[in-house]
Chains A and B, each alone.
Chain A
């Protein structure tokens, strides 16, 4: 469950979100959309605690995100998966090591890490490139590795920021299929996108952001 109530966020006196209220239910698949600069990425950053709200309340499942202490933030972040717009893959680590890193942070046993990473790489069809470095992968392949890294810890929620931004139609379909599969297992998925094709006909809730708040909410 995601809950934002009366949230305000501004950068250097420029308001991005104001009186922002939104709720996403547990296990839901939802989209946030809007023009560039509407605050989609900022909203996700608030949710994974990269940015802090000026005021208001933010809650994700049992975590009161807006009141988290700095020391607690890492533990909260471990409970969610994030697919970053710029991938954030480490170029000095192989595909396997990049995905395994998320589990290393969880202080998991090496055998368990190997088992889980192989399984998730198979799921995203990247197991054949486990020993390849990210810079030698295509955009679609890199995105699949990022999804694998976000999902390998089996988080309760997945946040994706423009996950298909630089992908062709075929790769976009593959990525969206992966998100649907993840959601089918009970993970809440929230995708920020400006690509209408992703949400039209999806049957999911779509939040339209404009002028610092949700302008409308439709079923895609």
Chain B
């Protein structure tokens, strides 16, 4: 404990001595983390929008015209037992006709010219959101089409492909961006600590000559890096929290309906920002003090 106290005393004394360099590093880290958080927040909200879109996705199963009631019932049972399907809605040909008439309005008389109802009965199937992959859905549709009594299976194939491409691109960009910010922040701390280390080279040399071990000379630098990372993270978390609250208020003022699709960050994410800052900074410091020879 006594040695830890000495390490902390030394680290905080060094922070005071190099306050401007440390402040610059804190600002750099907080800017990096804020950019990362802003990007994650945008991705998070986009993801929320995509999830809402996904919920409205469904397959429409068109049945044969001459299908018996028993076959319809058997198909409905089959769909309800399918674990990939979350919701089954049956629309009889009569109901379908009524809906078409409603949508045609005054032109509904055109339908009356038909001798018999030209519309088939259908099943609307909602699929698990985790399965919303173009290939999986294509296979599912093909499987359903082979069932007895099924005439055709239709779904928004292009829409689903676009959605999938958007979601995948966003994930890749988020990962690349996160990696870039991670490297930049780690490198910033690495550089700062390395400069401090070189500046205090004589002091370290003296400590070594007095019998100090490597860990004795390096520990205060790691504490310094940790402090800089945590402070940068806290500044960034506060900034993002303020920015998010302000933006949400302003956006809702003009577009009240957007409130339904906006996804605010959970509180844990704000706590995670200083932890991320600390981790990146500590890693940078660790590499810096580990690489220097004297």
Contacts and interface: CB of A to CB of B under 8 A. Distances in A.
A122 to B, nearest CB: 21
Nearest to A106: B211
Contact of B2 (A76, A82, A102, A109): A109
A96 to B, nearest CB: 14
Interface in B182-214: 202-203, 205-213
B29 to A, nearest CB: 25
A48 B2 contact: no
B177 interface: no
B216 interface: yes
Given A90-B203, A92-B17, A105-B216, A78 B211 contact: yes
A136 interface: no
Interface in A154-194: none
B3 A74 contact: no
B203 A102 contact: no
Contacts of B208: 74, 77
A88 interface: yes
A84 B216 contact: no
Nearest to B213: A74
Nearest to B215: A74
B2 A105 contact: no
Secondary structure of the B contact surface, majority rule: helix
B209 A107 contact: no
A107 B13 contact: no
B3 A90 contact: no
Nearest to B14: A92
B203 A75 contact: no
Contacts of A109: 2
B209 A102 contact: no
B211 A104 contact: no
B6 interface: yes
B14 to A, nearest CB: 9
Nearest to A75: B211
A90 B206 CA distance: 8
Contacts of B6: 104
Interface in A75-118: 75-78, 82, 84, 88, 90, 92, 101-102, 104-107, 109-110
Contacts of A106: 211
Given A90-B203, A92-B13, A92-B17, A105 B209 contact: no
Given A92-B13, A92-B17, A105-B216, A77 B210 contact: yes
Contacts of B13: 92
Greatest chain B CB density within 10 A among A74, A106, A109 is at: A74
A77 B211 contact: yes
A76 B210 CA distance: 10
Contact of B210 (A102, A107, A110): A102
A48 B6 CA distance: 26
Nearest to A108: B2
A74 B212 contact: yes
B209 A101 contact: no
A107 B3 contact: yes
A105 B207 contact: yes
Interface string B81-120: 0000000000000000000000000000000000000000
A107 B203 CA distance: 18
A19 to B, nearest CB: 28
B210 A84 contact: no
Given A74-B211, A105-B212, A88 B3 contact: no
Contact of B211 (A88, A90, A105): A105
A11 interface: no
A74 B205 CA distance: 12
Nearest to A48: B209
Contacts of B3: 104, 107
A82 B209 contact: yes
A106 B212 CA distance: 8
Contacts of A77: 208-211
Contacts of B209: 48, 50, 77, 82, 84, 88
7 contacts: A48-B209, A74-B211, A88-B202, A88-B206, A104-B3, A105-B216, A107-B2
Interface of A: 48, 50, 74-78, 82, 84, 88, 90, 92, 101-102, 104-107, 109-110, 149
The 7 closest A-B pairs by CB, nearest first: A78-B211, A77-B211, A88-B206, A74-B213, A74-B211, A105-B212, A102-B210
Interface of B: 2-3, 6, 13, 17, 202-203, 205-213, 216
